[in-house]
């Protein structure tokens, strides 16, 4: 049986899944290397049994080495036919999963300035995977792809028009998550899938998507993964005049501003305590409460904005680590949105049930599975006869 490996390579973690190749891939095990650096640890989940161990992994490439070692220990004779990669930014052109040739990778490298926290690490994971499994087909799946096809007015900025043609436009992210969630809704509730949904992907990264008939028509994230909602360490929406003030009046270097907006802001910056919502919810510090207040305020505001894009709402769907598990946050976001027909049932919400609403519009919790979307894309590539480009493999692995 052919095996598929999925990789989601970030700056501080590498998530992976191993599947049997099938029209609906069958997961064999999954896990991640967390806290890449001096404190890296490998977390492995096989048949519901989890194990954790400290591993030497100071870079994403070393983390992949640890993953490969663990896979081969648990799956003797392991052979990988295809590897799927989450690529955060696909730019204006990449809307479908692609076999990662040298030409495609070169284009994707050009988008690194648009997603500096993610894209370089995503592509480094591809190179490391090519070296480890040179006979495997490498497939890229793009987080921006779900949002291609927006109306022009939804994607542009009110700046000189030539910049839109140069690629300065709203892209939207978390598309793999939205694709999975809309697929679940289509299977469970076909009529709802035809309607108007706001999907809230709330995790360390956070965004909302306005979906009509299963298609994205609006997103809170824009040109970069900074826009919209506040996140674990990212600022979300900010007046561009503030950035000019930092540079012109505070004398900050652009790289210092970039680091602050991506790594020192959001829940961490507001609270001064943690980027982890669980820690903030359990804290008695007033700064933690204020950070949560801001998070909830912005989330509620964006639900209204996405509802306006849709011209109404039939369902609000929560997913992501916070969206799936933090019942108090869901309750507070929906509180006050009764005018949209959104009301939370306290008991169902506390149980993280599928349906947690009692109003005219549904409120739902759908656990997302980006890795499964990637595994499906690899299956389709293999089924269509995709082959490794030998020159590409040799060049990129050198």
Which residues are part of the catalytic machinery?
Answer: 143
Could you give the count of Cα atoms lying within 13 Å of 252 in the half-sphere of its Cβ?
15
Adjacent-strand bridge partners of 364: 317, 355
Count of C-beta atoms within a 10 Å radius of residue 178: 30
Judge whether 100 and 150 are in contact, CB under 8 Å.
no
How does DSSP classify residue 113?
Answer: G
Sheet of 3-9: strands edge to edge? 49-54, 41-46, 26-34, 14-20, 3-9, 80-87, 137-142, 98-99
In degrees and rounded to multiples of 5, residue 59 shows phi and psi of -135, 160
Q: Report residue 11 CA to chain centroid gap.
A: 13
Count of C-beta atoms within a 10 Å radius of residue 267: 26
In degrees and rounded to multiples of 5, residue 380 shows phi and psi of -65, -40
Count of C-beta atoms within a 10 Å radius of residue 138: 30
How does DSSP classify residue 37?
Answer: B
Q: Report residue 392 CA to chain centroid gap.
A: 28
How does DSSP classify residue 105?
Answer: H
């Amino acid at each position: 049986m052919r095996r598929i490996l999925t990789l989601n390579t970030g700056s501080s973690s590498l998530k992976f899944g191993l599947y049997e190749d099938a029209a609906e891939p069958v997961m064999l095990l999954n896990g991640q290397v967390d806290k890449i650096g001096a404190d890296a640890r490998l977390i492995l989940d096989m048949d519901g049994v989890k194990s954790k161990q400290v591993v030497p992994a100071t870079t994403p490439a070393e983390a992949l080495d640890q993953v490969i070692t663990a896979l081969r220990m648990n799956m003797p004779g392991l052979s990988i036919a295809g590897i799927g990669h989450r690529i955060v930014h696909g730019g204006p052109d990449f809307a479908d999963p692609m076999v990662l040739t040298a030409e495609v990778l070169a284009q994707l490298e050009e988008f690194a300035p648009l997603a500096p926290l993610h894209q370089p690490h995503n592509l480094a994971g591809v190179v490391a995977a090519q070296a480890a499994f040179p006979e495997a087909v490498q497939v890229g799946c793009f987080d921006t792809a779900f949002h291609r096809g927006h109306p022009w007015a939804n994607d542009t900025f009110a700046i000189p028009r030539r910049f839109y043609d140069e690629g300065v436009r709203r892209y939207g992210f978390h598309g793999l998550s939205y694709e999975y969630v809309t697929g679940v809704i289509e299977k469970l509730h076909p009529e709802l899938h035809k309607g108007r949904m706001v999907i809230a992907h709330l995790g360390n990264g956070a965004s909302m998507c306005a979906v009509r008939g299963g298609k994205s028509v609006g997103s809170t994230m824009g040109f970069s993964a900074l826009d919209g909602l506040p996140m674990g360490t990212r600022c979300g929406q900010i007046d561009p005049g503030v950035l000019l003030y930092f540079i012109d009046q505070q004398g900050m270097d652009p790289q210092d501003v970039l680091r602050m907006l991506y790594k020192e802001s959001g829940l961490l910056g507001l609270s001064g305590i943690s980027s982890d919502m669980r820690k903030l919810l359990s804290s008695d510090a007033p700064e933690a409460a204020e950070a949560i207040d801001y998070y909830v305020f912005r989330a509620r505001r964006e639900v209204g904005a996405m509802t306006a894009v849709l011209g109404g709402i039939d369902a609000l769907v929560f997913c992501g680590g916070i969206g799936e598990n933090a019942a108090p946050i869901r309750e507070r976001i929906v509180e006050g949105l009764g005018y949209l027909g959104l009301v939370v049932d306290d008991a169902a919400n506390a149980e993280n049930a599928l349906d947690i609403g009692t109003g005219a519009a549904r409120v739902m919790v759908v656990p997302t599975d980006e890795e499964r979307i990637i595994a499906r894309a690899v299956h389709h590539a293999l089924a269509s006869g995709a082959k490794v480009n030998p020159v590409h493999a040799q060049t990129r692995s050198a």
